[in-house]
Amino acid sequence: MSGRVAWISHCPVKGLALRLLEECQLTEAGVAGDRQFFLVDENERLVNSKGLGILQQIVPRYDDQAELLTLAFPDGTTLSHHVHLDGALEAQFWGASVHVRVVEGPWSEAISDVAGRDLRLVRAPAPATDRMRSGAATLLGTGSLRAIARLLGVDGVDARRFRMNFGVDGLAEHEEDEWLGRRVRIGQAVVVPQGNVGRCAVTTQNPETGEPDLDTLKALAAYRQDVQATEPLPFGVYAAVAEPGGVRLGDPVEPL
């Protein structure tokens, strides 16, 4: 069955608030501008919003051409400066060592003040996704959102909880699981889903506040725990990009 692009999202700084787009360029590395930066703690380990949900209240914007990073904070203040890199370190990223550059400027201190712990902003050499080699883009059918909403007994579940690049209207529940290993056209691009996206506690957090308010993991365990998948508690798929191209809201999405 073919579908249509229901949403496009990206996040210039991993773990902060998602930005919804009307169109994007899907490159071999993923959605242009996605997860160019991330945060590390005092041990140089990746920090996301799993234990610091308040990070989702910080809204990032990055102008790649001007190299201008803007962060809007929950107290209404905005911080906008050009990005300069100073120094390097080996960051621990989900068990892998990643060579990154340290971002010089006021952002680390400002983010640390909100988070209540010392954090540093760094720039990755490639988009900082959890599957840095094979997970350039992620897809989720809106039918799957309806399935989990039904199980949770709610009218709907905000797709931003799952932080997926592309939503797809018009599919049966979890139909995207059947696309693993197949070429799928999305707009002008072609992707090849490589595996299932296993879920963590971030999905329990309200995407506006970062506060846990919906037990998505319990719901997934109830009806997805025994599904044959590449990762536990699967919900959506990650894909490699076989042919880069532009993607717009409403573009067709179909297996080839």
Q: Please, are residues 225 and 217 in contact by the beta-carbon 8 Å criterion?
A: no
Report residue 53: phi and psi, to 5°. -60, -25
- The tokens for 179 are 């696309």
Q: Please, are residues 251 and 186 in contact by the beta-carbon 8 Å criterion?
A: yes
- The tokens for 119 are 């954090």
Which residues of the chain register pLDDT less than 50?
133
pLDDT at 131: 52
Q: Please, are residues 1 and 171 in contact by the beta-carbon 8 Å criterion?
A: yes
Q: Please, are residues 249 and 96 in contact by the beta-carbon 8 Å criterion?
A: no
Give the span between the Cα atoms of 32 and 237, in whole angstroms: 19
- The tokens for 6 are 């229901």
Give the span between the Cα atoms of 55 and 53, in whole angstroms: 5
Report which residue type is found at 163: R
Domains along the chain? 3-30+133-255 (2.40.33.20), 32-123 (no CATH)
pLDDT at 93: 81
pLDDT at 75: 95
Q: With the C-alpha atoms ordered 114, 118, 121, 125, is the resulting torsion angle positive or negative?
A: negative
pLDDT at 96: 82
Q: At what angle do helices 216-224 and 142-152 cross, to 10 degrees?
A: 100
Q: Please, are residues 96 and 132 in contact by the beta-carbon 8 Å criterion?
A: yes
| Termini Cα distance of the chain | 11
pTM of the entire structure? 0.93
Q: Which helix (H) or strand (E) holds 143?
A: helix 142-152
Note the pLDDT tens digit of each residue in 174-217.
Answer: 999 999 999 999 999 999 999 999 999 999 999 999 999 999 99
